[in-house]
Amino acid sequence: MSVKQIITLKNSQGMKIKLSNWGATWLSCTMQVEGKNRELILGCQSFEQYEQQDAYLGATVGRYANRIANAEIDIAGKHYQLIANQGVNQLHGGKSGFDKKIWKIESQSEQQVTFGLISPDGDQGFPGELKVTASYTLTDDNQVIVEYNASTTKCTPVNLTNHAYFNLDGETNDILAHSLKVNANYYLPVDANGIPCNDLLDVTQDDMDLRQLRVLSDNLLTSPARKITGGYDHAYLLDKSKPVAAQLVSSDKKVTMDVTTSYPALQVYTGNFLANTPNRHNGKYANFAGVALEAQFLPDSPHHLTWPQPSCFLEPGQTYHHQITYQFFIS
């Protein structure tokens, strides 16, 4: 069935999330803050607008999230040319990535929905038919749990994530006065095209340290690493000895979100190119209107097999399973 649908999950605390089978997308996330409904993620007014924007708002991104340099991979001596959609590189799975597909609603209840997709052999240039599920669960203690499962008929790289942009102030301000903590000792330097251009570096280099809560505007465009990308747009290699990957705090300190994940890395993207993305209020978002915290493998991993993380390649007979939990707290 190719009809776009909206599914609403609600919990006993009055929290509500909206999802769509279009791109297995997270559309909305509202909570009661001091008796008022507050929207915590960015979104558009209509499906037409969702189709026009290229910011991947709330989408499930795949088959391979983030960039693959020169849109090419080699597997067991075989070369595969992928569909490039950002210059010569591939971003977020190619021109027709998972964010643009209509997924099947496989199961649905009050607090959970599971979307399924079959990506055919050769989809966007990738080898193997990939069967994927993305499920969202809203718990009564205000967690949104996202789980991905996948299996393949041929060895293929897989990197599935969610591309929600958070603005815990309720979209009233930009996110520059939010505070962010990321439990990571290393980050990946990138060039102006977002392609890793060096090995992992200690976060103390180039002022990229987020190990203590730090206001996002703090020296935002003064570090050479962030100047290149117009803000944060970097992968952090997570310190797996720490239970929480990241913590985001609204500027009024009333909303906190903890991110935990099975993934080895987290892309922090401060919405540096969000300008002109349609918003829910008949207008446009500006740059820095939201921050995306995308748990994933390091970008361009198929070309960097020695990086300290599990393999991003899925083999036939294996099951891909990863989870991202967003836990919200109101004070």
CB closer to ligand GAL, 124 vs 267? 267
Binding site for ligand GAL (CB under 6 A): 55-56, 91, 194, 233, 267, 269, 273, 292, 294
CA dist 234 and 298 (Å) reads 10
> Cβ 269 to ligand GAL, closest distance in Å?
4
CB closer to ligand GAL, 257 vs 274? 274
Query: 190: which strand partners?
Result: 196
Residue 147: both structure tokens together: 């789980």
CB closer to ligand GAL, 187 vs 269? 269
CB closer to ligand GAL, 44 vs 113? 44
> Cβ 232 to ligand GAL, closest distance in Å?
9
Contact by Cβ (8 Å): 206, 223 = yes
> Cβ 54 to ligand GAL, closest distance in Å?
6
- Return the amino acid letter for 260: T
The catalytic residue among 178, 234, 294, 322 is 294
> Cβ 241 to ligand GAL, closest distance in Å?
26
The catalytic residue among 163, 178, 234, 322 is 163
CB closer to ligand GAL, 9 vs 188? 188
Longest pairwise C-alpha distance within the chain: 60
> Cβ 52 to ligand GAL, closest distance in Å?
13
Q: Is 304 a catalytic residue?
A: no
CB closer to ligand GAL, 9 vs 59? 59
CA dist 78 and 229 (Å) reads 33
CA dist 311 and 321 (Å) reads 13
Q: Is 294 a catalytic residue?
A: yes
The answer for residues whose C-beta is within 8 angstroms of residue 62's C-beta and 6 or more apart is 92, 93, 97, 98, 99, 119, 132, 158, 159, 160, 161
Residue 191: both structure tokens together: 């060039």
Contact by Cβ (8 Å): 64, 97 = no
Contact by Cβ (8 Å): 152, 119 = no
CA dist 214 and 226 (Å) reads 15
CA dist 21 and 8 (Å) reads 12
Q: How far is CA 199 from CA 42, 108, 189, 236, 249, in A?
A: 33, 43, 7, 12, 30
> Cβ 69 to ligand GAL, closest distance in Å?
14
Q: Residue 227 gets which letter from DSSP?
A: H
Q: Which residues are catalytic?
A: 163, 294
